[in-house]
Every structure is written in C-alpha cells, then in structure tokens.
Amino acid sequence: MKTSPPPDAFLSRIRLRHLHCFVAVAQAQHLGRAGERLGLTQPAVSKTLTELEELVGTRLLVRQRAGTDLTAAGMRFLRHALRILEDLDAAAQSLSGDALRHERIRVGALPSIVPALLIDAVTRFRSSHADVALAVQTGMNRTLIDLLKADVLDVVIGRLDDPAAMEGLWFESLAGEPLVLAVRAGHPLVTHARPTMHDVLAQPMVVPAMGSIPRHSTESLLARHGLTLPDGCLETADAYLSQLVTLRSDSVWAAPLSATRLAVADGDMTLLPIATPGTEEPIGLLRRSDRTLEPVAEAFVDTIRTIAARQPD
C-alpha cells in the first residue's frame, strides 16, 4: 500500500462517491450487497474502494469470500465519512426549506434476539413513534460491537465480550440467556421418556456459528458430558434459517432461549427436558460511554427494558 498522500492532494482528489461507496460496504459488510444498494456492479464497487485506499494510503477493508471487515484505520475513517455525509444531508434539507430533522435510530441486535425481545420492542415503539425511522442490523456480537464503536449504530442488544472488545463501551444487563435444545412439535424425542445428550446427538444438529458465544456454550455443555459435536451439523448465526430447518426436519436446535421463545409459545416447538447448567450468558444493552443518546433513542431503550422485564424466565 502506498504511503499517505499530502493533505492537499487527498482533498483535491477525494469525491463523494468514494465516501458513499465506503459507507455502504461498511454497513452491508459485502461488496455485492453494497453494489445493489448503490446501483453499481461489484467490480465498480471494488474499483472505487481501491481508489479510496490509494488516496488515503492505507488499507481500510479486508475483503473475504464471505464478506468484508473493517481494519482499525477503516473504523477511524468510517466515523468521519458518516459525519460528512450526515452534515451534507442536513445542509441539503436546510436549502430545500425542510429544516425539520428526521429522527432515526440505528439498532444492532443478535439474530437470536429478533424472534422475541426485538420484535416486541419494535412493535410497541412504532405504535407510539410512527414518525421515527428504525434501522435494524443483525450480526454476530463482535461485528455489532465494532459497528457501535465506529458510530454506525447507536445502541446494540448483545452480550458482554472480552475486556479489550468492551473498551469504551457501557453494558446494561437485561437478563440471563441460557442455551436450550429445541425440536419441532411431535418430534420423536418429545415422546421419549427421558432423552439423554446421546439421544440428542443421534439426531441432525443445528448449532450456532463458529466463533460465537452460543457456539462456545454448546461445545462446553457437550464437553461436560464427555461428548463433541458430530459431523454434518448445520452451523449458522441465522436464527430464521435455524428455525425453519428445525420445524421441517428432525433436527435438534441448540440455541439461546430467546431465539426459540416465540415458536415455543405458539406451540410449534418444544424444549427438550435436558438441563444446560453453566450456559447462561447475560444479554444487555451496549452503548458508547463517550456518547449521549438522543431522547428518542433513549425512549427506544426504555421500551426494550420494559419488554425484557416482562418476559418470562
């Protein structure tokens, strides 16, 4: 990578298309999806990003087959790029005579939170704040933390992470989240007198994605039984895909409780009577410690607290 150009050269050559493209990729975490959002082909997106990295003289993104990740420099640059684009939007509104600020809350959430806590919170909040836009992004815990630090998100419903990742963040615990083993209604293990972990592993397994906290809890639970995950598991962080596969097969889904809560309440799924001690992980609200939320975002946070307090253990 080339060294950083002189400031005058950078300022004379940088264009808004560079910023729009970079922000879109950072938010979508995928060149193709960012291109769809911008109306560009993936090669065009890649070319624009390469131009930007040459302008700044350092790598901003790590391109991988499954998507993209921001480098440390990319995180720093993203904060400034977002601020520039937001200021330009405000300037355009003032010139058009529309000086009213359109309120928007940027929320990050673990996929397992969506089927229960987040759906209820979003539904209740929108009934009383219909004019406020909610931009919701799901992802793995570390990804959401990185986006929160980069000011792409205002608040995250997630988990505690290691001290280095949590630096500069404030965590407010909402509830303990145990791991459960869920199956479809009518599954053979439901009528089993006393299913064991060996019985569970004899079935197809749907398990959390590698590197996630629920995946670690799953493997630790099995290790306490002297067992390991069998070959051929479906590994995914997508709670919706996990639920569909479980409902349409004899698979056993190892998942955080909140991911299964709605389907269990509707009678579509059943939790197997197998104890999972030691798998509880605190779920809570994460926000930046150096930033005060706007009043409308605080109102959304209060809604989340209320929903979380009323959910059964």
Question: Do 24 and 148 have their domain in common?
Answer: no
pLDDT of residue 67: 82
In a domain? residue 2: no
* pTM, entire model: 0.67
Q: Which of 37-41, 87-91, 124-128, 234-238 is the least confident region?
A: 87-91
Question: Do 74 and 216 have their domain in common?
Answer: no
Question: Do 172 and 183 have their domain in common?
Answer: no
Per-residue pLDDT reduced to its tens digit, 257-285: 989 988 999 999 999 999 999 899 889 99
CATH number of the domain bearing residue 205: 3.40.190.10
**Domain total for the chain?**
3
In a domain? residue 58: yes
In a domain? residue 209: yes
Average pLDDT, the chain: 88
In a domain? residue 69: yes
pLDDT at 66 over 50: yes
Question: Do 211 and 186 have their domain in common?
Answer: yes
Confidence tier at 52 by pLDDT (50, 70, 90): very high
Question: Do 91 and 148 have their domain in common?
Answer: no
Domain end marker among 62, 95, 128: 95
Calpha distance 212→256 (Å, rounded) = 11
pLDDT of residue 100: 47
Question: Do 140 and 265 have their domain in common?
Answer: no
Q: What are the C-alpha distances in Å from 15 to residues 18, 21, 51, 71, 89? A: 5, 10, 10, 21, 16
Residue 105 C-alpha from the chain's centroid? 15
Question: Do 67 and 49 have their domain in common?
Answer: yes
Identify the domain containing residue 119 by its residue range: 104-176+281-310
pLDDT at 4 over 70: no
In which residue are the tokens 């420099």 written?
73
